[in-house]
Structure 1
Amino acid sequence: MSPAHGVDDEAVAVVGLACRVAGADSAEEFWRLLASGTGAVTRDERTGRWAGRIAHKDRFDAAFFGISPREAAAMDPQQRLMLELTWEALEEARIVPADLGATRTGVFAGIINDDYATLVRRTGPAAVSGLTATGLHRGMVANRVSYLLGLRGPSLTVDCAQSSSLVAVHLACESLRRGESTLALAAGVNLILAEESTLGMERMGALSPDGRCHTFDARANGYARGEGGAVVVLKRLADALADGDRVHCVIRGGAVNNDGGGTSLTAPERAAQEDVIRAALRRAGLTPGDIGYVELHGTGTPVGDPVEAAALGAVLGTARGDAGPLRVGSAKTNVGHLEGASGIVGLVKAALCLAHGTVPATLNHDTPHPGIPLDRLGLTVPTSAVPWPARPGRPRHAGVSSFGMGGTNCHLVLSEAPAPRPEAGPAPQAPGAVPLPLSARSEGALRAQAARLLERWSAH
């Protein structure tokens, strides 16, 4: 059966997701932010620097996760964020975390920064304790989850610079396809905690002086940093359908490569980007005309944007037949560049676009970059929300790109979720009033659960 229309061995389902970015504490809030064309990058009054920041990153319910206050204080907040997002993603997938003990569930986390270690080391040897080694170790970002839930699958942290989290998703999919994992959690987290990490990127010339990511625009002058992260819960599509899971989208195929030496260590290379997109498209069993949208790496840098546009145009834009120009965009214009976590945030955005049948506006785009002839490349950057019509019998497809500054490139191809199978038997009768039990570990948490439920009910 064709991968575009049925279940194949390569297909992996996203059955749960959670995210937290500037201006949004959930995937639903993220979609509202995107759909409304909101930019959540703000200027810090104390430092004068621009960034997409999340709130309450200093808060953590250690007791909920069975962690002592002393150990929680020694932990990098990125480990804490990973635990919180994992729990939320499993709940969203309707999976009871306690049921995963001793299963071959894999954990793959993309992370590149360790600002908390910088803060601790600033204070000198007195700040070092027996908990410091695990608390500051980036490998523990994945291992904490495996330990908490008693998981027996692979557990690893991926660092290949800015492409880390999308590569983590790719590795998770490969683990599922090989049968190494029966369920996989793929993630990326990024927090800005130390001035040194911002200074480094600023002095490298990567950051935008005006705090805006002008993707594919003539004003492209760098990016604004962003905080947050996301976790997706993955299963083989065949297993997800057999289990009756709700499917957000399907990962049809993907590829990873490296630039292999360009003009400099950090300069992108067009031929390598073309190769990785072609390989992912080939593995997905699709043609250029099948792809309706690509979530760009799209950092808004004057060197990187023209290279990315040229590669996309060569592979997807100019080979579309009568499919029309390829829509492209970047969530970085809304929430900033989450660096090691940016790829998975782009994947969540693409999944939401597939589900809602809409491509949101890319912000801060007025005049195309002089080095990006959009018409000739067969590309278009929507500056307002654009409907993405369904085609009878043909699912929507999207691409997601993420490129590391050391040349590690990743591209994944997504499809919209298959239509739910009709249930056999008579139509269910409309129920009357039913009890709705809620549980939590404290009175305050129970009230918060009730408030979230009321908010969701009101929204839907």
Structure 2
Amino acid sequence: MEGASPEDAIAITGVSCRLPRAADLEELWQLLAAGTSTCEEIRHDRVPMRESFRALQNDKWKPKWFGNFIDGVDEFDWAFFRSNAKEAASMDPQQRILLELTYQALDSAGYLRKHVRENGDKVGCFVGASFIEYTDNTSAHPPTAYTATGTIRAFLCGRLSYHYGWTGPAEVIDTACSSSLVAINRACQSIWSGECPMAVAGGVNIISGVHNYLGLGKAGFLSPTGQCKPFDQAADGYCRGDGAGMIVLKPLKQAMADGDPVFGVIPGSSTNQGGLSASLTVTQPSAQVELYQSILERAGMSPNHVSYVEAHGTGTQAGDPLEVSSIRDVFGGSDRPTKLYLGSIKANTGHAESAAGVAGLLKVIAMLWKKAIPPHALFKSLNPKIPSLAPDRIVIAKSLEPWEVPFRAAWVNNYGAAGSNASLVVCEGPRMSSSKA
């Protein structure tokens, strides 16, 4: 398998990133390599908890609130995107950021050099998104002609396709926490089936209201102590995070023929549902095992080819042990030829919810670029509900290490609270371009 790819493998030819304290891949790598956590107490200009009547209704329940936030989400060059000030004010920041990130991803792919809107390129557009918190803002002001197109989720893709004149599929996908990786899988499937020869895909999650904090807090999802602590004994829930990212996808053969940069290669991806899970919001290991095996078969790979798993790893006492058990069943083993590293970006930048999958993929793309394994932030001791990892040659990196294997291949795993699982395998390409990163 070394260096090989299936005939129909898909290349990642363009990348853009917007995560807390990381506006590009280089900034993301610096954050990862240093083992930095971006957790902070909520920003009251973004989450006005003190002014919320609903937050004050329960005097006995006054938790401390935390988050991971992107700077400058209120900034937008509306003229550049052929809009106007009034329309921009009614436009969800998620739409604005997707416009910016899609431009950056297309630019890194070299697509914009030849793009002519009137050609109606058959490009697919797939975005994972869930919350529409900005309606809290627009509903507090008089209605405008731009409110609907600015806040209805369908326009997250619709506006992008309209802006570039694309005629391929345009779909917004909501499977909760797995939305963005399901969207990326949908883009891959669209290319494989011939619906479109190229696609942009990713996800977005921008916190702009109080109500989901209140609901998720009451349900016990959120950590009362701060950041996500994946796989750790101290895991006590997740910490919400802003996040967004877009990637450009096209067949590897075509990308090579076109001389495109290749940030990574996807030989297999898929989704399924944990319909037989123990409860509505808990993942089902057997469904994940079946998913992993089906992707490996499609990619023509062995579990031993995978040397890093970017897990969903939210830092909950229920979810982490179940996810690790599925990873161990497929990828672990005393006879592995190399160690299997395990990590989760949520220890750095929090749980980006509907953008969690693309956040994990961005981390792996940065790792492929730098050929290194970053330390797992905040990790101190293994959750006792997770049996020792050593017998299965699984390790959690505590310091920056070189990624020294014959062929670099990583697994990105993602599942949603509503049961939708998504996974893909991403490998180093036949050539990597650091100048475009």
TM-score, normalising length: structure 1: 0.87
Q: Give the match's secondary structure for 2:280.
A: coil
Q: Which deviations, in whole Å up to 9, do the C-alpha atoms of 1:20-61 show, x marking residues without a partner?
A: 110111111111111121111112364552111001101111
Q: Give the match's secondary structure for 1:166.
A: helix
- Give the RMSD, CA atoms, in angstroms: 1.9
User: More deviation in 66-75 or 368-377?
Assistant: 368-377
Q: Which deviations, in whole Å up to 9, do the C-alpha atoms of 1:362-421 show, x marking residues without a partner?
A: 111111011111224442111111211142xxx211000000001100110011011379
Q: For 1:204 and 1:156, locate their aligned partners in 2 and report how far apart those are by CA, in whole Å.
A: 30
Q: For 1:420 and 1:314, locate their aligned partners in 2 and report how far apart those are by CA, in whole Å.
A: 32
Q: Which deviations, in whole Å up to 9, do the C-alpha atoms of 1:306-354 show, x marking residues without a partner?
A: 0000000001112x62424310101111111100001001011111112
* Counterpart check, 1:383 vs 2:398: yes
Q: Where does residue 446 of structure 1 map in the other structure?
A: none
* Counterpart check, 1:206 vs 2:225: no
* Counterpart check, 1:341 vs 2:339: no
Displacement of 1:7: 4.7
Q: For 1:97 and 1:162, locate their aligned partners in 2 and report how far apart those are by CA, in whole Å.
A: 35
Alignment of 1:276-295 (within 5 A): 276-295=291-310
Partner amino acid for 1:405? Answer: A
**Please, which of 165, 169, 173 is the counterpart of residue 158 of structure 1?**
173
Distance of aligned partners of 1:266 and 1:244 in 2 relative to their CA distance in 1, 3 Å threshold:
same
Confirm or deny: 8 A CA contact 2:281 2:417 kept in the other structure: yes
Provide structure 1 residue ranges, at least 5 long, that are not aligned to the other structure: 422-455
Q: Is the radius of gyration larger for structure 1 or structure 2?
A: 1
Confirm or deny: 8 A CA contact 1:43 1:50 kept in the other structure: yes
Q: Where does residue 378 of structure 2 map in the other structure?
A: 364
Q: Where does residue 134 of structure 2 map in the other structure?
A: 116
Partner amino acid for 1:227? Answer: D
**Please, which of 55, 61, 67 is the counterpart of residue 83 of structure 2?**
67
Q: For 2:89 and 2:431, locate their aligned partners in 1 and report how far apart those are by CA, in whole Å.
A: 46
Q: Where does residue 443 of structure 1 map in the other structure?
A: none
Confirm or deny: 8 A CA contact 1:253 1:284 kept in the other structure: yes
Distance of aligned partners of 1:5 and 1:98 in 2 relative to their CA distance in 1, 3 Å threshold:
closer
Q: For 1:380 and 1:204, locate their aligned partners in 2 and report how far apart those are by CA, in whole Å.
A: 32
**Please, which of 10, 13, 16 is the counterpart of residue 14 of structure 2?**
16
Partner amino acid for 2:134? Answer: Y
Q: For 1:388 and 1:84, locate their aligned partners in 2 and report how far apart those are by CA, in whole Å.
A: 32
Q: For 1:33 and 1:372, locate their aligned partners in 2 and report how far apart those are by CA, in whole Å.
A: 27
Confirm or deny: 8 A CA contact 2:338 2:405 kept in the other structure: no
Q: For 1:7 and 1:259, locate their aligned partners in 2 and report how far apart those are by CA, in whole Å.
A: 29
Q: For 1:378 and 1:128, locate their aligned partners in 2 and report how far apart those are by CA, in whole Å.
A: 58
Distance of aligned partners of 1:67 and 1:189 in 2 relative to their CA distance in 1, 3 Å threshold:
same
Q: For 1:10 and 1:307, locate their aligned partners in 2 and report how far apart those are by CA, in whole Å.
A: 33
Alignment of 1:18-167 (within 5 A): 18-44=16-42, 46=44, 49-96=65-112, 99=115, 101=117, 102-121=120-139, 123=140, 127-167=142-182
Partner amino acid for 1:215? Answer: P
Q: Give the match's secondary structure for 2:111.
A: coil
User: More deviation in 167-176 or 381-390?
Assistant: 381-390
* Counterpart check, 1:414 vs 2:426: yes
Displacement of 1:5: 3.4
Alignment of 1:211-222 (within 5 A): 211-222=226-237
Structure with the greater relative contact order (CA < 8 A, sep ≥ 6): 1 or 2? 2
Identity %: 38
Partner amino acid for 1:84? Answer: E
Provide structure 2 residue ranges, at least 5 long, that are not aligned to the other structure: 50-63
Q: Where does residue 310 of structure 1 map in the other structure?
A: 325
TM-score, normalising length: structure 2: 0.91
Q: Where does residue 408 of structure 2 map in the other structure?
A: 396
Q: For 1:192 and 1:314, locate their aligned partners in 2 and report how far apart those are by CA, in whole Å.
A: 36
Displacement of 1:252: 1.0
Q: For 2:172 and 2:43, locate their aligned partners in 1 and report how far apart those are by CA, in whole Å.
A: 34
Q: Paired residues, what number? A: 415
Q: For 2:262 and 2:65, locate their aligned partners in 1 and report how far apart those are by CA, in whole Å.
A: 39
Q: Which deviations, in whole Å up to 9, do the C-alpha atoms of 1:83-133 show, x marking residues without a partner?
A: 000011111112217715311111000001100013323x2xx62222221
Confirm or deny: 8 A CA contact 1:309 1:377 kept in the other structure: no
Distance of aligned partners of 1:7 and 1:377 in 2 relative to their CA distance in 1, 3 Å threshold:
closer
Q: Which deviations, in whole Å up to 9, do the C-alpha atoms of 1:182-201 show, x marking residues without a partner?
A: 21100101111111011111
Displacement of 1:270: 1.0
Q: Which deviations, in whole Å up to 9, do the C-alpha atoms of 1:166-211 show, x marking residues without a partner?
A: 0111110111112211211001011111110111111111111111
Confirm or deny: 8 A CA contact 2:232 2:383 kept in the other structure: yes
